[in-house]
Amino acid sequence: MAVVLYSGNVGIGQDLGTVLRAVAGLNGDGAMTVRIVGGGKALGEFEALAAEMGLANVEFSPPVPLYQLPELLAAGDIHLICQKPGTEGLLVPSKLYSTLAAGRPSIFVGPADCEVGRIIAESGSGFVVEPGDVGKAMDALRYLAGSQALREAMGRKGRAYYEQHFGRDRSVSRIVDILEVAGNGNGSGGSAGRPAVRRRRRRSWFTVPFQRRRLAAAGAGLLVVLALTHVPGSALPSWVTGTHIDKIQHFFAYGAIAFLFFTSFRRPPGWRTMAIVLALGALIGAADELTQPLVQRTASPYDWAADVAGIMFVGVVLLAVRLFRREKLLHAALPASGRRVTAALESRRTVSRRKA
């Protein structure tokens, strides 16, 4: 006899009435026991409905402790997931993910175009029934309760979908990405009345005013530096063209431009961004030096080296700050899973270094 299990909150957002009416409509056609394990504001309503229809094969039980949840999920051959229309965007039944992980088929009574309905349809791990469609709910119960092979096939599909989209490694990777965005220093912290999650909205980096201003400042600074380095040498005072002073000026000028350019991106620089900016800076610095004879000035490879050193210094400092901040943020936000997330970060860095 198949066990049809509903485990979780029995509240006003769950439509268990459609399932109970479907069980009554089957009238023994399909050997099954329905277990509703949980509590909530609507529990009394559904208990009264089951008693009114005389459903002897429906059992109501209180919630189980968390450590007994894996055993409970394994005891269910078919899992029920319910969501009333109008609650899309307000709640997502989390039992979907535990059902997929347990490798059990599911019957979802809820809107077909919500997240749960889309996942079940895409994974092929169960049936989606519109609320109030008792006939379709009866068919889904009959098919699954009457075929162990169908239950096992849908369960395998659900487990495979879970491992592909929601497994531990992928979840840890997503946590790392979210924490990186939250802690990148560009608008972190949120403001009153605005949920922090809104910062995760994907936007092109050049549409953000803060980053546009940084990029514009970097471009303007570069033009100013190129203009100053092409002033005829005879028009400059000796304290500007001194041997050591000139190199220091190149170092800090190109370093400041690199800082503005690096911080115009959505995230602090990684190795790839740093390499690209360093290559561009080296080319611009070389062009700057090669055109010095045009204004009666002497090209110097040491000036070019100072340009590259300034860019590299700023890039390395920003990269070190990024790594330090990320490690600190991860261990502060996820104390129980810090080692796991850190291991994922180390693995990602190793892969990135190998690709480089």
Each residue of 19-63: pLDDT tens digit? Answer: 999 999 987 666 889 999 999 888 999 999 999 999 989 999 999
- Which residues does 252 contact at the CB level (< 8 Å), separation at least 6? 310
- Alpha helix (H) residue ranges in 42-133: 43-52, 69-75, 95-102, 115-123
Taking residue 229's Cβ as centre, other Cβ atoms within 10 Å add up to 20
- d(C-alpha 32, C-alpha 122), whole Å: 27
Look at phi and psi of residue 213 and say left if phi exceeds 0, alpha if psi is from -120 to 50, else beta: alpha
The edge-to-edge listing of strands for the beta sheet with 106-109 is 58-61, 32-37, 2-7, 78-82, 106-109, 126-129
pTM, rounded to two decimals: 0.51
pLDDT tier for residue 128 given thresholds of 50, 70 and 90: very high
Distance CA 329, CA 283 (A): 37
Task: Please write the tens of the pLDDT for every residue from 68-90.
Answer: 888 888 889 999 999 888 877 67
The answer regarding whether domain 2-166 maps to CATH 3.40.470.10 reads no
CA dihedral 44, 46, 49, 55 (to 10 degrees): -120
Domain ranges within the chain, ordered by starting residue:
2-166, 199-355
Closest residue by Cα to residue 117 from 91, 145, 81: 81
Q: Are 145 and 76 in contact (CB under 8 A)?
A: no
